[in-house]
A and B are shown apart, each in its own frame.
Chain A
Amino acid sequence: MIGRKNPAGRKGLSALALISAGALALTACAGGEDTGPGDAPQELVIGLSADVDNLNPWTATHYSSVEILSLIYGTLTELDEGLEVVPGIAEDWEVSEDGLTVTFNLRDGVTFADGTELDADDVVASYESIMDEETGAVSATYLSTVDEIEAVDPLTVELTLSSPDAALPSKLALSSTAILPADVDLEAIQTTPNGTGPFTLENRTPSESLTLASNPDFWDGEPILDRVEYRVIPDEQAVVSALQAGNVQMATFDDPLVAQTIGGTVDVIETPKLDYQVLQINNQAEPLDDVNVRLALACAVDRDEVLESAALGAGEVTGPITSPAFLSDPSDRPCPEPDLDRARDYLAEAGYEDGLTLSIIVMQDGYPSTAVAQTENLQAQLGQIDVTLEIEALESGNYVDRWMAADFELALALNGSQPDPGVSYERYFMAEGSLNSVAGYTSETLEELFVQGREETDEEARAAIYEEVSHELEYEAVWVWLFAPYEYTALADNVSDFTPMANGSVRALRDAYID
């Protein structure tokens, strides 16, 4: 690469010249840190395959909407690159001795895009709206422990909880809990967003492009990039072409083969995601209500093979918890390596020596593109223990309907996840959880562990609790966790200081610049 771009290499000069050129390049790099951006226009174009569908941060769920909204709106807390909770609009916060009162101290001088100053009333009004059923907010359940919100003074907000919730600060970092003005008109913000984030909406042409301008009044300093344009390019190959031709400087892919074809002056960064690919088991009906049948499946599945052969190696084998701070040990499971003999023993114990037939639903037209191939691979693997897998490849709408109604025996799913394991799994495995009917499993042990996890504030003690959660989920073979997929971020090599994050956040655009 250096040889091709460096005229010295072409002219065939001595190796010495190359070395000194390399040294120069190194000094240039080191210098770049200090000097920052040069005279290059600070305009970044990002290729987006799906247009934004909703600019209301409380109800948006599509990744492209969430990504853009997180740049426009601010939250009380934020997650840094390591997914640790750091201050946002709130400068700091205190939790009372009994864990039932959380007091947030707001930053002074935070303003909305329209110039009005943010105060405690806006925070109270926002959280109350989120908790109101009428709003249809995604985060309503995250605030279920909140009994009362009070503006103590213009810069202090006090949350009274019904039970301690150690994960609360991490929940308040999600853009679905963004702070909007108290007198917000939810229809108006669809076209004129009014947030406190590092960027403001400059212009939007639906299904064509959306342009953000840097916010000079952002509390953490104005971003270096003057403008970020999200350009809608629906076809994946067309995004590749746009990157090659230099029309677009950044885009994300889930398919490593596509990412590799770009070449040229575009770097590809591989980021393990918080999301996880899982073989979901409906534990409520025969024969899958028998733990031995589930353990047989868990022992027969070769996760490495699914990942390497069907999913193009685009991920990492994982246990239930994918968050870096609480990462499950993937070998802490009944069969760390596939063990067909044990799988057959489990089947025999359940009374299925002669095998059985199960059906599995899979989305054929969604993400990841390899879902059907993975299912076929599982079919072949389970065939070895005489478990016949009947594959139902469904159109996405149909799949979602069946999934929501828990109308399946097995489902291959790509589930979203949050930095806090309690936030990720309480909704599935606590009886009161909003997705418990889909997961179809709960136990006293799990319920107790989740409650402990909420009440415990010590980081290490929490990690130990969620290790037990992970252990319990694996040894009861509640589901069969497969792997956490990678996301591939293609980035033109003149874009500096951008780091993709495991939760898909583009927070680093605040610091990014163009050389």
Chain B
Amino acid sequence: MTAETASTRLPATGVPRLARGVRLRHDEARGQWVLLAPERVLQPDPVAVEILKRVDGERSIDAIIDDLIAAFSVERGRVAADVDAFLAGLAEKGMVEVGP
């Protein structure tokens, strides 16, 4: 992921959800997770999949980070930076919307 760890771009209390026309699903035929968007099939890496699975329109970014820490016992600073960079990237592409 990116090295932009200095500052976060999204509000930690914001609630991300996939934009309409963007769907995460398990692709049985190929045994992988895919993120589907208009005329695009993206193959998220394992870290991205764990983040995306928690983007449900209910959990805040903070809650997603807490959840990942609990599930994988990883260090907070690193996870927070990864989640922020990843979701901010998708938000820029219009694939994720962050609500209050």
Specify whether A and B are partners: no
Chain A interfacial positions (CB closer than 8 Å to B): none
